[in-house]
């Protein structure tokens, strides 16, 4: 699934081509994409409106259209936005015409979505119900992260993947950040120290910035609007590197399950948390 760096890469590439242009036509070929709205309802709300700005919140791409109309796109597992593709898309779910440009929402597994928000209040309510702090914003401080973690008993990997806590971090960047911070992914979030929270905050930011610089990671499906793959996968420290030597100590990287996801860890650098002691039952 595209995470914050991948969605931001798409936004930065698309923005110069769509901002200031009019969405002259939109054809939603798959009704699942616009649920709960029917395709015709969403098409009517968007058609003919100027794109004032293309922005991002977490993993959502936000089309800010004139008169405070917002289209909220989520790519999910396999979605891609292709600008003026040279060949017809095999999995085109949505076609958008903006001047001389054709933009295609291509999605083989059909999990991607497009949702509508009318007015700033509706937009704010939509994200307040779904997303937490932006990890590249000033508000994402070590103290803020520590306070959030103290209120959660979930493993720290699951905590990082919870979009209501931190928006935009997914499986790749959680693994990379935890390795940088030397925190085991199974450690309960409420058991990290202030020093670990500070290290983790810096590691999350560093991992995301590295992903942005590499224009995202392409493992299976991610492509930018020109169909070009990202290169961050060539810089992974532990993610997908099972049995390979840890770049710090040489211990083979292990793969385990955390938060229901394949998770990569060096258990020399990232010490596994001790199991809680069982309470003794007093003899009768």
Tell me which DSSP letter residue 3 carries: -
Secondary structure of 178-234 as H, E, C letters: HHHHCCCCCCEHHHCCHHHHHHHHHHHHHHHHHHHHCCCCCCCCCCCCCCCCCCHHH
Q: Are 113 and 85 in contact (CB under 8 A)?
A: no
- Report the C-alpha gap between 56 and 47 in whole angstroms: 21
261 is catalytic: yes
35 is catalytic: no
Catalytic residue among 2, 135, 185, 225: 2
255 is catalytic: no
Catalytic residue among 56, 59, 157, 180: 59
155 is catalytic: no
Say which residue the tokens 């295609």 belong to.
104
Alpha helices (runs of H) in the chain, residue ranges in sequence order: 4-18, 31-34, 39-46, 120-128, 142-150, 156-161, 171-181, 194-213
Which residues pair with residue 269 across a beta bridge?
none
**Apex 240 CA angle, 189 and 247, nearest 5:** 80
Strands 80-83 vs 69-74: parallel, antiparallel or unpaired? unpaired
Nearest partner of 35 among 111, 130, 95, judged by Cα: 111
- Coil, strand or helix at 160: helix
Catalytic residue among 3, 6, 8, 176: 3
> Omega into 243 within 30° of 0, i.e. cis?
no
Catalytic residue among 242, 261, 267, 273: 261
- Report the C-alpha gap between 260 and 238 in whole angstroms: 18
Question: What tokens appear for 145 in the block?
Answer: 């992260």
Q: Which residues are catalytic?
A: 2-3, 59, 261
């Amino acid at each position: 699934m595209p995470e914050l760096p991948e969605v931001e890469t798409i936004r930065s590439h698309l923005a110069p081509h769509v901002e200031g242009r009019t969405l002259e036509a939109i054809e939603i070929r798959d009704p699942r994409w616009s649920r709960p709205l029917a395709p015709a309802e969403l098409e009517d709300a968007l058609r003919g409106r100027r794109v004032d700005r293309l922005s991002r919140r977490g993993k959502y791409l936000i089309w800010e259209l004139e008169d405070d109309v917002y289209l909220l796109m989520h790519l999910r597992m396999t979605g891609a936005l292709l600008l003026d593709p040279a060949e017809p898309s095999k999995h085109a779910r949505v076609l958008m015409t903006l001047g001389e440009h054709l933009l295609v929402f291509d999605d083989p597994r059909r999990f991607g979505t497009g949702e509508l928000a009318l007015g700033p209040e509706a937009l704010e309510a939509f994200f307040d119900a779904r997303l937490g702090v932006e990890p590249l914003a000033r508000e994402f401080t070590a103290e803020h992260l520590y306070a959030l973690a103290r209120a959660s008993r979930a493993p720290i990997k699951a905590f990082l993947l919870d979009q209501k806590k931190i928006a935009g971090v997914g499986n790749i960047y959680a693994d990379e950040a935890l390795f940088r911070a030397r925190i085991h992914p199974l450690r309960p979030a409420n058991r990290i120290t202030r020093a670990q929270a500070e290290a983790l905050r810096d590691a999350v930011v560093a991992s995301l910035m590295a992903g942005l610089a590499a224009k995202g990671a392409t493992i299976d499906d991610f492509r930018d609007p020109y169909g070009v793959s990202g290169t961050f996968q060539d810089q992974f420290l532990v993610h997908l590197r099972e049995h390979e030597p840890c770049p710090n100590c040489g211990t083979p990287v292990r793969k385990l399950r955390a938060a229901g996801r394949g998770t990569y860890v060096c258990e020399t650098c990232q010490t596994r948390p001790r199991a809680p002691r069982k309470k003794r039952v007093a003899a009768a």
